[in-house]
Amino acid sequence: MSPLLDHDPQVTHMSVVAEDVSESTVFYEEMFGAEPIETPHLGTQEDFDTEAHPNLQMLQIGDIQLHLWNDPAREIEAIKFAHFGIHTDNFVEVYRKAKNRDIFATVGDDSAPAQVFEFNGTVQMYIQDPTGNLIEVDHPDIDALDASAFDNVVHRETSGSDRHIYSDLEVS
């Protein structure tokens, strides 16, 4: 029997499709410092066979695991609006790497100019991994960054609640 956790629910992992698991693993290592972790062999399941297609790699990014899958039985198509966010203290460095790779994106578009978005004092950019999965890269304080590194900062107007992803977090 597994022990019960004595705290609120929390995200433990995200699982995304990777057209090429090895290429995607290197991408997340280089862009975000992800660390490959021991990945269990899942054997033959009813809906896929990891003996024939062992295309799974688990990565650790901070406290969350990212699982990269390639199931050849399913057609691979990145969903244009679905995305996940990754906080980084190295926002400017990730921006430069993304610019060198020409992997900027906007929600719903295949590509975009190198740009960051500022609202409520936070900053974010959207990039794509090698499969086309959309990643929102976040930092809590645009004023703490060297703004001269960015080609284009888009200031977003917000209305209603002033909440954002860092609202309930202590940020140092």
Give the pLDDT confidence of 73-114 residue by residue, as tens digits. Answer: 566 555 556 788 899 999 999 999 999 999 998 655 555 677
pLDDT at 10: 63
Give pTM, 2 decimals: 0.73
DSSP string, 49-79: BTTT---EEEEEETTEEEEEE--TTS-----
> What are the domain boundaries of the chain?
13-69, 83-155
- The CATH class that applies to domain 13-69 reads alpha beta
pLDDT at 80: 59
**Res 2 pLDDT > 50:** no
13-69 with 83-155: one CATH topology? no
Could you tell me the fold of the domain covering 83-155? 3.30.720
Give the pLDDT confidence of 105-147 residue by residue, as tens digits. Answer: 865 555 567 789 887 788 999 899 998 888 989 898 999 999 8
Q: What is the dihedral of CA 76, 79, 82, 85, to 10 degrees?
A: 60
